[in-house]
Amino acid sequence: MAEEEKKSRRTKLSGSRSKASGKTGSTKEEKKSSKKTLNKVGVEDEKMLLKKAEEKEKARKETEDKEKEIKKVEKEETKTVIEQKAEEVRAKNKHGKKYRSVKEKIEIDKIYEPDEAIDLVKETSLTKFDATVDLHLRLDKKIENLRGVVNLPAGSAKEKIVLAVTEKNIEEVVEKVKSGKTKFDIMLATPTIMPKLASLAKILGPKGLMPNPKSGTVTENIEEAMEEFKSGKVEFKADKGNNIHISIGRVSFDHEKLKQNLDAALAAVPVGKVLSAHLTTSMGPSIKIKVGK
């Protein structure tokens, strides 16, 4: 009897231990599983937060870029409006009332006959002084570096200061030109003198004052050339825009004198290569004229 009770107690105690042992193992696994679950949730939450932060930053940048673009467009529009207004003001104030009144006498799209243009250019002169009458020719790009001379039968608009370089004054001329003294309009020289003037090429060349055979300023007959230039011989040369400008007289010249000089100037240039021709006075409006037949 006593033995049976002992066995019963052992059995119960063993069962209790087994249950306790099973319960403890289960709790550890649950804790481990729970920890894994929490770690997984934490990583996912972190990824989600990073993603949301990135999306928010992206949206902010897009909004910022749009605002910058809008400001840029508004700035450009404002600048355009300001420039347009400034251009209108400049166009309005570019010429005075007197200029605008005489310009109204000229038909913009009309190409005038030379005789009619001469009368009109004298009529539209604005200056109180005796203004020059200039011929402006725009040349075809196919013809380049055109230069030459023309003898104006009625005399030039301005009396030219002609300097003849000889063996006697060559040293003096070189010294004065190098010191900046070029008080002359035309320099004449003989072929034998030209090598001695080579050192002045960089100074006189850009000013169009260097003697050149094509312009008739390098010649054996200095005295004859001097007389021609003083009496109305004019040198011309195309500029960088392929335009030629020749003064054919003054407003005080009568119609016939201006006509003679205009005809001579046009005859000195290949008319077939002239794209357009205009007559104008100092500070006066230009008048388009007919060239050729």
The pLDDT value given to residue 41:
58
pTM assigned to the model? 0.59
Of 25 and 51, which is predicted with more confidence?
51
Joined tokens for residue 70: 């809008």
What is the percent of the chain with per-residue pLDDT over 90, rounded to a whole number?
A: 29
Residues whose CB is less than 8 angstroms from the CB of residue 258 and which lie 6 or more positions away in sequence, other chains included: 118, 122, 133, 154, 248, 249
Whether the predicted pLDDT of 113 surpasses 80: yes
Kindly give, in sequence order, each residue whose CB lies less than 8 Å from that of residue 144, ignoring residues fewer than 6 positions away. Answer: 238, 242
Highest mean pLDDT among 38-42, 95-99, 207-211: 207-211
Whether residue 20 is predicted with pLDDT greater than 50 in this model: the reply is no
Listed range (14-23, 181-190, 275-284) with the worst mean pLDDT: 14-23
How confident is the model at residue 72, as a pLDDT?
A: 78
Instruction: Tell me if 138 sits within 8 A of 274, measured CB to CB.
Output: yes
pLDDT of residue 43: 64
Candidate from 64-68, 73-77, 122-126 with smallest mean pLDDT: 73-77
Q: Does residue 245 sit in helix, strand or coil?
A: strand
Distance CA 162, CA 184 (A): 6
Number of Cβ within 10 Å of residue 135's Cβ equals: 23
* Residue the block writes with tokens 């005038």: 112
Is it the case that residue 178 has pLDDT exceeding 80? yes
Say how many CA atoms lie within 13 Å of 34 toward its Cβ: 6
Mean pLDDT of 92-96: 62
More confident residue, 281 or 100: 281
CA distance 140 to 247: 21
Q: State how far the Cα of 166 lies from the Cα of 222, in Å rounded to an integer.
A: 9
- Check residues 41 and 110 and name the one with the higher pLDDT: 110
Please give the pLDDT value at position 276: 92
Which H or E element spans position 175?
A: helix 170-178
Q: Mean pLDDT over residues 180-196, rounded?
A: 89
- The predicted pLDDT at position 6 comes to 52
Give bridge partners of residue 162 from the DSSP assignment: 186
Give, to the nearest 10 degrees, the angle between helix 114-123 and helix 255-267.
130
What are the Cα distances from residue 207, in Å, to 47, 98, 116, 126, 182? 78, 34, 35, 29, 10
What average pLDDT does range 261-269 have in this prediction? 93
